[in-house]
Chain A
Amino acid sequence: GAVVSQHPSRVICKSGTSVKIECRSLDFQATTMFWYRQFPKQSLMLMATSNEGSKATYEQGVEKDKFLINHASLTLSTLTVTSAHPEDSSFYICSARGTSGGSGELFFGEGSRLTVL
C-alpha cells in the first residue's frame, strides 16, 4: 500500500534553533499534504494545508512565519519550525492526499517528535 514517510522521527534541539521536518509520499504523487500537531494527551490539530507549487494555507492561530511550509514537488513537503521554543515541543504528523482524489486516499506519516530544550 501507499506509504508516507516522515523524517526525522525524533529531534531534540536547543531553544532558538530551527528544525526542518520532511514528509514524503513514497509511491504516489500527493498534490495536497496536511500538517498536524499533537500535544501530549490531546488530539491532532490541523496546522496547515500544503499544496504543491503554491503557498500553504494556515489554520487560525498558527503563525505562518514560525511554521514555514514548502511543497516544492508532488512527493515532498517540508515543515520548518523557526526559532523553536519549548512550547513548540510536540508530535508533528503529516498526511498526504493522492492525485486521484478518490475517497479514502489519505495517508498519514509516522510522525516526528520534536523536543525543544
Chain B
Amino acid sequence: QKEVEQNSGPLSVPEGAIASLNCTYSDRGSQSFFWYRQYSGKSPELIMFIYSNGDKEDGRFTAQLNKASQYVSLLIRDSQPSDSATYLCAVNPGGTSYGKLTFGQGTILTVHP
C-alpha cells in the first residue's frame, strides 16, 4: 500500500465549476498535510497546508482534513483554465522532522473553457 494515494486522473472540469481532489494517507501519526500545484517542467508551488481537522479556506481553495478517515481533499471553486496542472498531495509523516514530505503520485487536472 502506498503511503500517500491520489487518483492520477486526469480530472476534467468545465471552467467555473468546482474541482475536487482527494488524497488518502496510511500513517495515522501524520501531522501536516500539504497541497502543491505543479506545472509541467516546473517545481511544485504550495497552495495550502492544513494541520487540524476540518476545513481551511484561502481564496478559491479549500482544504479539508479528516484524520479519523486519513483523508485530505482540496476543492477549487470557480475553476479556471490556468488551474490546469498536476496537484500533489504531500504528508509529513509522524515521527519525522518537519518538511520531510511524502508525496502522492499527483492528480492531473484539466479545466476546459
Q: How many residues does chain B have at the interface if contact means C-beta atoms less than 8 Å apart?
A: 23
A108 at the interface (CB under 8 A from B): yes
Indicate whether A34 sits within 8 Å of B100 (C-beta atoms), given known contacts A43-B88, A103-B51. Answer: yes
Instruction: Tell me if B98 and A43 are in contact (CB < 8 A).
Output: no
| Chain A residues within an 8 Å CB radius of B34 | 106
Query: Which residues of B are in contact with A by a Cβ distance under 8 Å?
Result: 32, 34, 36, 41-46, 49, 51, 88, 90, 97-106
Interface residues of A, dominant DSSP: strand
A46 and B88 CA atoms in complex are apart in Å by 14
Interface residues of B, dominant DSSP: loop
A110 and B42 CA atoms in complex are apart in Å by 7
Q: How many residues does chain A have at the interface if contact means C-beta atoms less than 8 Å apart?
A: 22
A103 and B102 CA atoms in complex are apart in Å by 17
| Chain A residues within an 8 Å CB radius of B43 | 93, 108-111
Instruction: Tell me if A93 and B98 are in contact (CB < 8 A).
Output: no
Instruction: Tell me if A97 and B99 are in contact (CB < 8 A).
Output: yes
